[in-house]
């Protein structure tokens, strides 16, 4: 068994994410039998002294049947209406199901602002810590009822990866209607299952498809992105089928495992690299990319070739290489209006009051190419 699977099997704190397609079906809404099967697997793992935070999709899907909606709506207002109805049904179903094991459920609804804004991030961290210390099972969902297009996570896979780091989880399990990662669309046949992802090179050339259900927003692409986010911050991840939840939460000997890469990032550096919303872009030459990514140096004005966005000093920006890839993220020390006259100039050429780093090394996080 791989190190990643052993770590997940032995984890004392896990984040488990389940997709809409695993809990609901078009036209009939929430499938309580599927939900009960998931809770059975989670309760069994909880009985072995593991703390679990459950990130659950399904609110919109659960609201379709009560509102006589035949399929997932495309417009935001109807999605929010379905979520407002479905969230109650979903929370009640979880409370009833976990109640069979005398377990208390705490509902946590988040928008991206709750992790993008540093103060909100810390508040969420404290809430989870207290719920877990009291023995409750936090059930998390994106707050679809009030989220707008501008503040949505986009899918609960990314939310689960952010929560995994926020609570300092030992592992992340992503459950859906797909049993593993394949090197092509498994529905087309002739594809190979990928059991282990030890590093980025194992994903080279892969074409990952969407979920077979029309109920969710995140396909395999979002699951792989979430697993990579977790793994790159030091948390092993597992992609598996919800029908294999018992095995995934047991020996973790199903699905596709992603090995943790390197040391776990601090909460601040993880927030900066993966949770904060960038307000603009700084385009770098090759020399600046080498200094920032390989030598972990501060970014100076001389290495910048272009600026884009609407940001102020203290905002987070992406740093982009000549191939248009985001290679780092950091807190910029200048307003966007100040930079055009500085870029490309050496420090000694600048006025004394402007002889400072554009992004200081302490406020900069190199990223894996994406």
Annotated binding-site members: 17, 57, 144, 156, 176-177, 217-223
Q: Decide: 181 and 193 in contact? Cβ < 8 Å.
A: yes
Query: Which strand (E) or helix (H) includes residue 9?
Result: helix 3-10
In eight-state DSSP terms, residue 269 is: H
| Interatomic CA distance for residues 311 and 313, integer angstroms | 7
Give binding residues for ATP as ranges: 17, 176-177, 217-223
CA nearest to 240, candidates 192, 188, 173, 186? 173
Which residues sit in the known binding site for substrate? Answer: 57, 144, 156
Give the start-end residues of each E strand in 217-370: 237-241, 256-258, 280-284, 304-309, 316-320, 326-331, 364-366
From residue 283, alpha-carbon distances to 257, 287, 344, 355 in Å are 34, 12, 11, 20
| Angle value at C-alpha 219, between 183 and 229, nearest 5 degrees | 80
């Amino acid at each position: 068994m791989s190190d990643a699977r052993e770590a997940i099997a032995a984890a004392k704190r896990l984040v488990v994410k389940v997709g809409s397609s695993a809990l609901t079906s078009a036209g009939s809404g929430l499938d309580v039998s599927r939900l009960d099967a998931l809770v059975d697997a989670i309760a069994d793992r909880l009985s072995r002294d593991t703390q679990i935070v459950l990130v659950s999709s399904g609110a919109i899907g659960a609201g379709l049947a009560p509102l006589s909606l035949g399929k997932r709506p495309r417009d935001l207002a109807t999605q929010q209406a379905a979520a407002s109805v479905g969230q109650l049904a979903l929370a009640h179903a979880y409370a009833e199901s976990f109640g069979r094991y005398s377990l208390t459920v705490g509902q946590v609804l988040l928008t991206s602002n709750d992790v993008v804004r540093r103060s909100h991030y810390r508040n969420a961290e404290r809430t989870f810590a207290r719920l877990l210390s009291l023995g409750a099972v936090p059930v998390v969902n994106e707050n679809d009822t009030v989220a707008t297009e501008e503040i949505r996570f986009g899918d609960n896979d990314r939310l689960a990866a952010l929560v995994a780091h926020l609570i300092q989880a030992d592992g992340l399990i992503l459950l859906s209607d797909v049993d593993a990662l394949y090197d092509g669309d498994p529905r087309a046949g002739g594809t190979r299952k990928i059991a282990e992802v030890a590093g980025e090179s194992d994903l080279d050339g892969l074409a990952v498809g969407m979920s077979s259900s029309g109920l969710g927003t995140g396909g395999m692409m979002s699951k792989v992105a979430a697993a990579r986010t977790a793994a790159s911050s030091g948390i092993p991840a597992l992609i598996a089928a919800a029908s294999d939840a018992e095995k995934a939460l047991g020996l973790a000997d199903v699905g596709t495992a992603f090995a943790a890469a390197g040391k776990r990032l601090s909460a601040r550096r993880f927030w900066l690299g993966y949770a904060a919303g960038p307000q603009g872009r700084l385009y770098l030459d090759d020399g600046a990319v080498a200094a920032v990514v390989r030598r972990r140096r501060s970014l100076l004005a001389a290495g910048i070739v272009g600026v884009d966005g609407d940001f102020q000093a203290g905002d987070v920006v992406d740093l982009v290489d000549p191939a248009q890839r985001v290679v780092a993220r950091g807190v910029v020390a200048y307003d966007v209006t100040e930079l055009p006259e500085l870029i490309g100039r050496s420090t000694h050429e600048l006025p004394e009051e402007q002889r400072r780093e554009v992004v200081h090394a302490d406020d900069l996080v190199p990223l894996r190419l994406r």
